Amino acid sequence: MSKVLPIIIIFLNILLISKARVLAQIPPKSIKLGSFTPPPTRTPTATPTRTPTLIPSGPPAPSEVPEPSGGNGGGNPAECAKLGLSMFSPQPRFLEQTTLCELGVIWPPYSPSFVPSNLTNLYNATGGKFWQRVNSIMIKSGIVSDLTGLLKYIDNQPGCALFIGYGYRSYAEQEGLWKGNNCATDPGCGVAPPGKSAHQAGIALDLFCAEMRGSDIILKGVSQSSIDNARNFNFIHPVNWDTPHFIGL
């Protein structure tokens, strides 16, 4: 028995350690913020028929002129004027095929088949340093170095463990979120319709401060100084009420 006992203890330790690893990888049971329900990967089943009041219905067809690779040619103020908005200046360097207007709005919308060029895995690009909702978040590779500075800054804020909710979203993911939040009947749902989100350009991120309570992740908004300093990292925070939402210039 005296020889067997240490072996049993070692065996139990190995079991506990591997259990702890497994637990750490289990997705959070609940995330206390509306934007994460339902899961964003859900495949939509029908085409939405209504759009929020801010965005006119009957959108113009996306431009058929090929854009210079990696950019949007400086944007087109006439596109924003269609919405009664001004064009944001400067235009994001890595925005493709559309124009960034004030309030973080993009116009014209992306077609369902649009996928930005040069997307990269954010977790790998940042060396896995930051807490992400999932490790498969993609982002435009061009903004990674500026973004890393912003992420470090927010993560270093007192009482904040940075949590990255979203980066790039496909058309289907955007549509799934939009439907899941009943946005067709609730224009104030806080989610842009499919085709109309800067997340689809791969240059927008939703950033939070997170806290574990048991198996729940409690998400809080980032600090005001994170918002105020975003521009120093070449990011904008375009919408006051949308605290997590940043766009890379």
Q: State which residue, 79 or 206, has the beta carbon closest to Zn ion.
A: 206
Tokens of 70: 């990696």
Handedness of CA 141, 243, 193, 32 (dihedral sign): positive
CB 239 within 8 A of CB 103: yes
245 part of the interface to Zn ion, by CB under 5 A: yes
For residue 35, give the amino acid letter. S
Q: State which residue, 237 or 245, has the beta carbon closest to Zn ion.
A: 245
Size of the site for Zn ion (CB under 5 A): 2
The piece of 83-91, 167-175, 211-219, 240-248 that touches Zn ion (CB under 5 A) is: 240-248
Q: State which residue, 85 or 201, has the beta carbon closest to Zn ion.
A: 201
Identify the CA nearest to 109 among candidates 196, 180, 183: 196
The piece of 13-21, 64-72, 177-185, 201-209 that touches Zn ion (CB under 5 A) is: 201-209
Interaction with Zn ion in 73-102: which residues (CB under 5 A)? none
Shortest separation between residue 163's beta carbon and Zn ion, angstroms: 13
Per-residue burial over 214-242, b if 16 or more Cβ lie within 10 Å, else e, is eeebbbbebbeebbebbeebbbbbbeeeb
173 part of the interface to Zn ion, by CB under 5 A: no
Identify the CA nearest to 95 among candidates 79, 222, 85, 81: 79
User: How far is C-alpha 224 from the geometric centre of its chain's CA atoms?
Assistant: 19
Tokens of 63: 């431009």
Shortest separation between residue 45's beta carbon and Zn ion, angstroms: 24
The piece of 82-90, 152-160, 204-212, 227-235 that touches Zn ion (CB under 5 A) is: 204-212
Interaction with Zn ion in 175-194: which residues (CB under 5 A)? none
Q: Give burial (CB, 10 Å; 0-12/13-18/19+) of 69.
A: exposed
Q: State which residue, 19 or 186, has the beta carbon closest to Zn ion.
A: 186
Residue from 122, 183, 206, 227 touching Zn ion (CB under 5 A): that is 206
CB 169 within 8 A of CB 193: no
Q: What residue number has its CB nearest to Zn ion?
A: 245
Shortest separation between residue 224's beta carbon and Zn ion, angstroms: 18
The piece of 4-12, 182-190, 202-210, 227-235 that touches Zn ion (CB under 5 A) is: 202-210
Contact set with Zn ion (CB under 5 A): 206, 245
